[in-house]
């Protein structure tokens, strides 16, 4: 199985930068989950992660990247290394050369376009350098902010998968958006 690429230098467009996630991000991640009580639900989690869980994820991160399973990247503003969000590369399917992105931005940093810019940078990077041919975003169909951010980042809206995931004690519709390699050419 191929590895996910190593991000040796931050991805940046001048307004946002993306670097590998690190243990030093854990306090900011915990604060974001505390400041947005519904964040864990939007990220498909039963409850917010604990500091210990985040620490264990950080310890496994390099092995997961090398094994091609998942990758967490941190969103920062240029000149400031403080975590203001993260992008999760997950659902990697090497047989079909595709992966899914999940993203969150800290509540106090929302509305600045950081999520849109981060999605565009990471999506293009994975298609150019990651050996993938499709990068998708799957979100609850009523998550208008995520749908708008994904569209603005260059993802195409494909439709709704009815009752696709389980959440909050029932089945939830999910919007599907994607970016494919030909999208980078034009």
Reported pTM? 0.93
Please answer whether residues 78 and 121 qualify as being in contact, where contact means their C-beta atoms are separated by less than 8 angstroms: no
Q: Domains of the chain: which residue ranges? A: 11-136
CA distances from 92 to 28, 79, 127, 131, 180 (A): 26, 31, 13, 11, 14
Question: Does residue 14 come out as left (phi exceeding 0), alpha (psi in the -120 to 50 range) or beta?
Answer: left
The fold of 11-136 is Aminopeptidase (3.40.630)
In order along its 186 residues, the chain shows pLDDT tens digits of 799 999 999 999 999 999 999 999 999 999 999 999 988 888 888 889 999 999 999 999 999 999 999 999 999 998 999 999 999 999 999 999 999 999 999 999 998 899 999 999 999 999 999 999 999 999 999 999 999 999 999 999 999 999 998 877 789 999 999 999 999 876
């Amino acid at each position: 199985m191929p590895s996910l690429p190593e991000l040796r230098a931050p991805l940046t467009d001048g307004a946002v930068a993306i670097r590998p996630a690190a243990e030093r991000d854990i306090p900011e991640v915990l604060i974001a989950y505390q400041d947005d009580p519904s964040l864990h639900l939007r990220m498909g989690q039963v409850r917010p992660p604990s500091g210990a869980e985040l620490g264990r994820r950080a310890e496994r991160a390099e092995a997961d990247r090398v094994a091609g399973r998942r990758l967490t990247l941190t969103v920062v503003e240029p000149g400031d290394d403080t975590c203001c969000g993260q992008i999760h590369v997950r659902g990697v399917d090497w047989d079909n050369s595709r992966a899914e992105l999940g993203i969150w931005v800290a509540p106090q940093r929302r509305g600045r376009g950081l999520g849109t810019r981060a999605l565009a940078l990471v999506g293009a990077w994975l298609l150019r350098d990651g050996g993938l041919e499709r990068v998708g975003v799957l979100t609850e169909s009523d998550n208008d902010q995520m749908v708008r951010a994904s569209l603005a980042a260059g993802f195409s809206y494909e439709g709704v998968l009815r009752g696709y995931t389980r959440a909050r004690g029932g089945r939830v519709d999910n919007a599907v958006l994607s970016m494919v390699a030909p999208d980078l050419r034009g």
